[in-house]
Amino acid sequence: MIKENSSNAINKAFLYRSCRINGALDAIAGRWKALIVIHISEGNDRFSLLKGVMPGITDQTLGKQLKELEASGLISKTIIPAVPVRVDYTLTPKGQALLPILANLSEWSDM
């Protein structure tokens, strides 16, 4: 968490105002976020399924990344009242729109 009046917060706000791409990069920044988005799009829509396809991620990190992706509007969470309670994640339209961008970034990275 960044303090509201810190130089870091002021610089971040300036960068967001000056170049909107900084906000976009911030939404997908992090080691796991892009991969989580891709796996959710492929049907790995629950915490346990995501853990299964990303064995190197910790529960704490996965939970944090999911919360950040939800706060960014890239995924939505649905709580299904069952025993035990089930939580499903789906891509929002904004998250769906990110998929071709991620594919292009992957191709660009391979250049």
pTM (two decimals): 0.85
Structure tokens at 51: 């853990």
Structure tokens at 2: 């960044």
Structure tokens at 13: 């706000």
Q: 56-90 pLDDT, tens per residue?
A: 999 999 999 999 999 999 999 999 998 888 999 99
Task: Please tell me whether residues 66 and 103 are part of one structural domain.
Answer: yes
Task: Please tell me whether residues 74 and 92 are part of one structural domain.
Answer: yes
pLDDT at 1: 59
Q: To 5 degrees, how large is the angle CA 54–CA 32–CA 9?
A: 155
DSSP 8-state code for residue 44 = -
Q: What is the CATH number of the domain that holds 57?
A: 1.10.10.10
Higher pLDDT, 25 or 99: 99
16 pLDDT tier (thresholds 50, 70, 90): confident
Q: How many domains does the chain have?
A: 2
Task: Please tell me whether residues 85 and 73 are part of one structural domain.
Answer: yes
Q: Residue 62: which H helix or E strand, with range? A: helix 59-71
Report the distance separating Cα 29 and Cα 38, nearest Å.
Answer: 14
Report the distance separating Cα 90 and Cα 77, nearest Å.
Answer: 7
Task: Please tell me whether residues 11 and 22 are part of one structural domain.
Answer: yes
Task: Please tell me whether residues 53 and 23 are part of one structural domain.
Answer: no
Please name the amino acid found at residue 66: L
Structural domain including 3 reads: 1-29
Task: Please tell me whether residues 20 and 62 are part of one structural domain.
Answer: no
